[in-house]
Amino acid sequence: NFMLTQPHSVSESPGKTVTISCTGSSGSIASNYVQWYQQRPGSAPTTVIYEDNQRPSGVPDRFSGSIDSSSNSASLTISGLKTEDEADYYCQSYDSSNQGVFGGGTKLTVL
């Protein structure tokens, strides 16, 4: 079964840059689009990156997404960290049968 693996948690200081990785277990992560969702405590998820590196309107350009085929991974980078960025972040893609798969989520602490 195709799986996406994320670090359980990351932390960084305000104003700094953090990168969250999402590694595919098999196949090519570049075969299907990767999305990134932000979920603040007690709230529904929101989309911060879709189609690997596209930002929905309203999402600041401090958020960016990328794919690294050599490591079969996707990354979410947040620059100029703000305390409001503190949240859980989930990557999501699809397997070869077009079944959706979420990563386990990464808790971002901005301290």
Rounded to the nearest 5 degrees, what angle is found at the Cα of 51, between the Cα atoms of 67 and 81?
70
Closer of 17 and 46 to other proteins (Cβ): 46
Burial 57-84 (b: 16+ CB within 10 A, else e): eebeeebbbebeeeebbbbbebeebeee
Contacts (CB under 8 A) with other proteins, residues 46-85: 46-47, 50-51, 56
Does residue number 100 form part of the binding site for other proteins (CB under 8 A)? yes
Where along the sequence are the contacts to other proteins (CB under 8 A)?
32-35, 37, 39, 44-47, 50-51, 56, 88, 90, 92, 94, 98-105
